[in-house]
A and B are shown apart, each in its own frame.
Chain A
């Protein structure tokens, strides 16, 4: 169950990121942390998942990547400072990735619902539950995706 689920989120991120930005992401690492994972996040978009499994999905990126992303979404308008618009672009990317992953999960029999994402800035995030951490890189820098499962019984 776990690898099937994690793979849908990885495929969703690489596909949506490429569609939105026209930039390819390369997965550089995938690690499982049974007791949770701590990470310092410049910007994190976080949403909850319910249904076939309960957990959270997080996208973690740095400021320059968030500014680049916003600029591309805004049809190339230069974006030099953090603003509500930047948070909105990161939140929307997270929403689209989780939406695409949910669509793929339903196709293989897992019906999930997602909440709308919130943004955390400059925080130490401690998932404190079994978590899969995937790392990616592209010409803009690095990006992390965390899939946290609420209960260890959901990991097989």
Chain B
């Protein structure tokens, strides 16, 4: 059975790009537009991995990481954000994210990180 990835980003162009990339490698993908939507979808979709943006309307990505980890302490969350300042990266890792990829997203880099945590 294919592994499941929840892609969380307020930018539809990013969600679509990551969805196409992951589906071409036979992952099962679900999208969420906000942190709040991600937390809700996590409960039902139960993904093997989450890619998470930081700057989003409603609930930001770091708060969403904390909320998801309350639901599943073993959740694997990879931050994918343009906010690459050292303090943001530190905040995301402290919140419980596995790692941080700074945008722009390069397909090879994204895939290598995803595979590292899924395989």
Size of the A side of the interface (Cβ < 8 Å), in residues, is 25
Contact B82–A96 (Cβ < 8 Å): yes
Q: Which residues in B have their C-beta under 8 angstroms from that of A70?
A: 13
A92, A98, A102, A106: the one within 8 Å of B13 (CB): A92
Contact B13–A89 (Cβ < 8 Å): yes
Contact B10–A116 (Cβ < 8 Å): yes
Nearest-Cβ distance from residue A72 to partner chain B, whole angstroms: 11
Contact A114–B17 (Cβ < 8 Å): no
Q: Which residues in B have their C-beta under 8 angstroms from that of A73?
A: 13, 17
A75, A84, A98, A115: the one within 8 Å of B82 (CB): A98
A155 within 8 A of B: no
Q: Which residues in B have their C-beta under 8 angstroms from that of A106?
A: 85-87
Contact B104–A74 (Cβ < 8 Å): no
CA–CA, A116 to B12, complex, Å? 13
Q: Is the interface of A mostly helix, strand, loop or mixed?
A: helix
B12, B20, B56: the one within 8 Å of A75 (CB): B20
Interface 0/1 of A68-111, CB less than 8 Å to B: 00100111000000001100110110011011101100100001
A3 within 8 A of B: no
Q: A residues bordering B, Cβ < 8 Å?
A: 16, 19-20, 70, 73-75, 84-85, 88-89, 91-92, 95-96, 98-100, 102-103, 106, 111, 114-116
For the A-B complex with A115-B55, A116-B10 known, give 10 more contacts whose Cβ atoms are closer than 8 Å.
A75-B17, A84-B12, A88-B12, A92-B14, A95-B103, A96-B103, A96-B104, A100-B82, A102-B85, A106-B86
Q: B residues bordering A, Cβ < 8 Å?
A: 10-14, 16-17, 20, 55-57, 81-87, 102-104
Can you give 19 A-B contacts (C-beta < 8 A)?
A16-B104, A20-B104, A70-B13, A74-B13, A74-B17, A75-B17, A85-B13, A91-B11, A92-B14, A96-B104, A99-B83, A99-B102, A99-B103, A100-B82, A102-B83, A103-B86, A103-B102, A106-B85, A115-B55
